Amino acid sequence: MAKSMRNDKRKHTKLVATRTALVQAALDAGKVSRREICQATGLQRHELTNLFTDNREIFAAYTVRRKTITEAAADNIQEIVNDKNHPQNFAASKFVLQTYKSELEDILEPMAGEMQIEVPSGTGDDAQPVIIKFSSPKKE
């Protein structure tokens, strides 16, 4: 009786197709990080990386899902900046100005050192002003 021939290429193609289906199901279930995908599919990280190399379509689907995270974060920051009563409004505004180029960079020249603003906090003899200090980042 003849022994069946082994076909490594066919075996690899079938393995890629099976893993692609598993990863697609994980993506459809909302798994976005590599760790989550590996836990859901039972793949090792290097196997997932090899799959992304072999199947560029599933890698493109993964990349699109990953980009939605940054879009959601940008939307969250925008909502915080637009809400003047949000407790993190100032921090979010400062983050945006430090991270992204703004028209202020073209108009204003930065001062060297530290800048301090004092804002009155209330009325009365014992009212202390609120002091906001801005300093330039230290260069190492």
Q: Tell me: the pLDDT tens digits for 49-84? A: 999 999 999 999 999 988 888 888 889 989 999 999
Is 82 a domain residue? yes
Which residues, 6+ apart, have CB-to-CB distance to 51 below 8 Å? 16, 19, 20, 23, 43, 58
Task: Give the helix, strand, coil percentages of the chain, each rounded to 5.
Answer: 60, 10, 35
More confident residue, 5 or 26: 26
The total of structural domains in the chain comes to 1
Is 49 a domain residue? yes
Per-residue confidence at 7, pLDDT binned at 50, 70, 90?
confident
Least Cα distance to 16 among 49, 60, 64 occurs for 49
Is-contact 49 11, C-beta < 8 A?
A: no
Is 131 a domain residue? no
Q: What is the 3-state secondary structure (H, E, C) of 8-50?
A: HHHHHHHHHHHHHHHHHHHHHCCCCCHHHHHHHHCCCHHHHHH
* pLDDT surpassing 80 at residue 116: no
Is 130 a domain residue? no
SS3 131: strand
Is 91 a domain residue? yes
What pLDDT score was predicted for residue 1? 57
Is-contact 136 114, C-beta < 8 A?
A: yes
More confident residue, 116 or 15: 15
What pLDDT score was predicted for residue 4? 61
Mean residue pLDDT of the chain comes to 83
More confident residue, 116 or 14: 14
What pLDDT score was predicted for residue 109? 64
Neighbours of 19 (CB within 10 A): 20
Share of the chain above pLDDT 70, in %: 74
Domain extent, residue 37, equals 8-108
Mean pLDDT, rounded, for 101-107: 68
Least Cα distance to 95 among 114, 66, 86, 64 occurs for 86
